[in-house]
Amino acid sequence: MEEDRVGEAVRALCCWDNESPRVGIILGTGLGSATSRLETTARIPYADIPHFCQSTAVGHAGEWLCGRWRGTPVAVMSGRFHLYEGYSFEQIGRAIRVMHGLGVETLVVTNAAGGLSPDLRVGDLVVIEDHVNFAFCNPRRDPVVSGGGPCRSGTFYDRGLHRSALASAEGAGIRARSGVYIGVTGPNYETRAEYRFFRGLGDVVGMSTVPEATTAANLGMRVLGISTVTNVCDPDHLETTSGEEVAAAARNAADRVGAVIDGVLSGLS
């Protein structure tokens, strides 16, 4: 049973750190160094957490960190799981249900993404106001996981956290804007035709975030999403992109992402 798997993981993590986290943070591709701002009390490989998936993608450390960030007790995932790694929506969402079981009320989910809007540059941040789910799956399809019934309507992303992130970026002199994230399955990058299509729907495109944000919102958690633009998707001047290049661009922006999270957590204290 899924409830048993989640419960076992929660009990194991409580053995490493008995302080209940208020905020959960997921650091996407290449963003692991943002944890330099974290006062770490425990570092647990995913392999040591019962029923946890393993990160196999480039730029994902695969570690669960406990500690305090700006005085706030947090649980940090340095590395995530993706549909293209062979995991189901439900398996990816399990990490969020574990956070919820530990007491997390607010989720900050970050990612590396391709910039669709012509005015975006590599290194820019996009604070997610909403997403488009082109992964075409949802944990609400599983009555054991969701509890049954339709999900509430409206955006999954908290407007107050959204405003706080934009204000934090502005105060730190960081290029950031509001935008819509398009979530796809991957692992391939998009064709010219797909980029042209997606440009009419959103501002950035990536292969993650939708499972975590959807699961968290369905659990009643406040959600903040931040994308780092790691490549510019110009269908008329398309260039080859690799996972290594995306990870390198994200690493260069990790400190800026950390600064925005810093400002948001300061507002929660």
- CATH, range 2-268: 3.40.50.1580
In degrees and rounded to multiples of 5, residue 225 shows phi and psi of: -120, 135
Phi-psi category of residue 112: left, alpha or beta, with phi > 0 → left and psi -120 to 50 → alpha: beta
SS3 annotation, 200-255: CCCCEEECCCHHHHHHHHHCCCEEEEEEEEEEECCCCCCCCCCHHHHHHHHHHHHH
Domain boundaries, the chain: 2-268
- The burial of 188, by beta-carbon neighbours within 10 Å (0-12 exposed, 13-18 middle, 19 or more buried), is given as exposed
Tell me the residue type at 200: G
* Per-residue pLDDT in tens (0 to 9) along the chain, 269 residues: 899 999 999 999 998 887 899 999 999 888 888 888 899 999 999 999 999 998 888 777 889 999 999 899 999 999 998 898 898 988 999 999 999 999 999 999 999 999 999 999 999 999 999 999 998 777 555 544 554 455 555 679 999 999 999 999 999 999 999 999 999 998 888 889 999 999 999 999 999 999 999 999 999 999 999 999 999 988 877 777 777 888 888 888 899 999 999 999 998 86
Angstrom distances, CA of residue 215 to CA of 6, 94, 97, 209:
14, 9, 8, 10
Residues 6+ apart with CB under 8 A from 55: 46, 61, 62, 79, 80, 81, 85
d(CA 228, CA 234): 17
Query: Is there a contact between 177 and 149 (Cβ–Cβ < 8 Å)?
Result: no
Within 13 Å, how many C-alpha atoms sit on residue 251's CB side? 11
Helix (H) or strand (E) holding 108: strand 106-115
User: How far does the chain reach from its first CA to its final CA, in angstroms?
Assistant: 36
Query: Is there a contact between 37 and 172 (Cβ–Cβ < 8 Å)?
Result: no
